[in-house]
Amino acid sequence: MTEQLKAQFTQRIVELQKRIGAIHRDFADGRDADWSEQAGERENEEVLNALESEAKIEIQHLSNAITRMENGNYGICQACGEDISPQRLQVQPAAEKCIQCAE
Residues of this chain that interact with Zn ion (CB under 5 A) are 77, 79-80, 98, 101
Q: Which is nearer to Zn ion, 44 or 85 (CB)?
A: 85
Residue closer to Zn ion by CB (options 14, 79) is 79
Q: Find how far residue 41's CA is from the centre of its chain.
A: 25
Residue placing its CB nearer to Zn ion in the complex, 47 or 79: 79
d(CA 96, CA 88): 10
CB half-sphere exposure, 27, CA atoms < 13 A: 13
- Least distance from Zn ion to the Cβ atom of residue 62, Å: 20
Minimum separation from the CB atom of position 80 to Zn ion (A): 3
Q: How many CB atoms lie within 10 A of CB 98?
A: 20
